[in-house]
Amino acid sequence: MTTTTAPSLRVLSLGAGVQSSVLLLLAAEGHLPRLDYAIFADTGWEPRSVYTHLERIEREVAAPAGIPVLRVSSGNIRADALDPTKRFASMPLHILNSDGGEGMSRRQCTGQYKIRPIKEKVRELLGCPYPQRVPRGVFVEQWIGISVDEVHRAKDADVAYMKNRFPLLEQGLTREDCLRLLRARGFESTPKSSCLGCPYHGNAQWRALRDGSPEEWEDVVDFDRAIRAGNARATAEGTPLLGQAYLHRSRRPLDEAPIDRVTAHEWAGRQTDVFDAIADAELEAGDADGCSPWACRSGAPVAAERLTLAA
């Protein structure tokens, strides 16, 4: 493949949530440059609403515009977490330590189940599957759906053969702008993209599952019970978690967690200043945009001057 300063391909990291869906729409309508591919990394445990939305935007938006939607996967995150024979990339579970202290396990699931399969597919599209070396100067331009109200989450890719671009930032679009665009095109029910049992869910998301999707609610309740001792493989190998793990931030069983109200214990643990309002909003709504492969909370933000990229 000839070395060049222009991207070999232009791809969208499609989480099937609000922002990435808007990028697909804008590209399909010609408001943004044409995409060669949209890549959806499937953890195997997405909400039914995400799969339904993905099928719809593929059928009604991507296919008519000639944009192939590629599905990639590194396995089923739910099954792997409970399989003692699997090396599981840990979820950010809420931990109640044996001494009563609170903590959170490391978040490795995004790298394993989102970023890794996308990188593998990108290498394949470039004709350089691992371990073949990608020639210097050959790269894919990857679009990431990050709006201006979350600019701090924008990051560079950590490999030379992928260069992240943030068209929503370049266009100055907020999340609310994205929601308006979706409503205007009949996609007002676009879901947040995150695993069914993501520990970053807020109470509103847990209630929506309980009240609107009983089967999925029972699924996450069963999973919550099953992960109390932490990593199944570590437990099987004699190194269990020194405490208990939970999906809900109250560190109580999910079917007993205070998803309809804020408990007195939680209120007592809050700061009594302006940050109370921020904490309350996060407790209720959870992470505003769900789980994005390239906008994980950990890691350093990209420098502001690097956000404006050439078309």
Strands 140-143 and 9-13: parallel
The predicted-structure confidence for 46-66, as pLDDT tens digits, reads as follows 999 999 999 999 999 999 999
Give the per-residue pLDDT at 296: 54
Give the per-residue pLDDT at 299: 39
HEC string of 78-93 equals HHHHCCCCCCCCCCCC
SS3 162: strand
Sign of CA dihedral 37, 63, 47, 205: positive
Task: Record the tokens describing residue 275, joined without a space.
Answer: 């940050």
Give the lowest-confidence range in 59-68, 82-91, 259-268. 259-268
Residue type, 84: P
Mean pLDDT for the stretch of residues 96-104: 93
The predicted-structure confidence for 114-172, as pLDDT tens digits, reads as follows 999 999 999 999 999 999 999 999 999 999 999 999 999 999 999 999 999 999 999 99
102 pLDDT more than 90: yes
Which residues touch 66 (CB under 8 Å, ≥6 apart)? none
- Residues 189/176/207/98 CA torsion (nearest 10 deg): 130
The predicted-structure confidence for 276-302, as pLDDT tens digits, reads as follows 444 455 556 665 545 666 555 443 333
Give the per-residue pLDDT at 108: 87
| CA–CA distances in Å: residue 110 to residues 18, 92, 199 | 18, 10, 13
Rounded Cα distance between 172 and 122, Å, is 28
Give the neighbor-by-neighbor strand order of the sheet with 37-41: 69-72, 37-41, 9-13, 140-143, 162-165
- The stretches of 196-274 forming alpha helices (DSSP H) are 203-212, 214-226, 232-236, 264-268
Domain boundaries, the chain: 9-294
CB atoms within 10 A of CB 138: 19
Closest CA to 189 of 6, 21, 46: 21
Rounded Cα distance between 278 and 282, Å, is 6
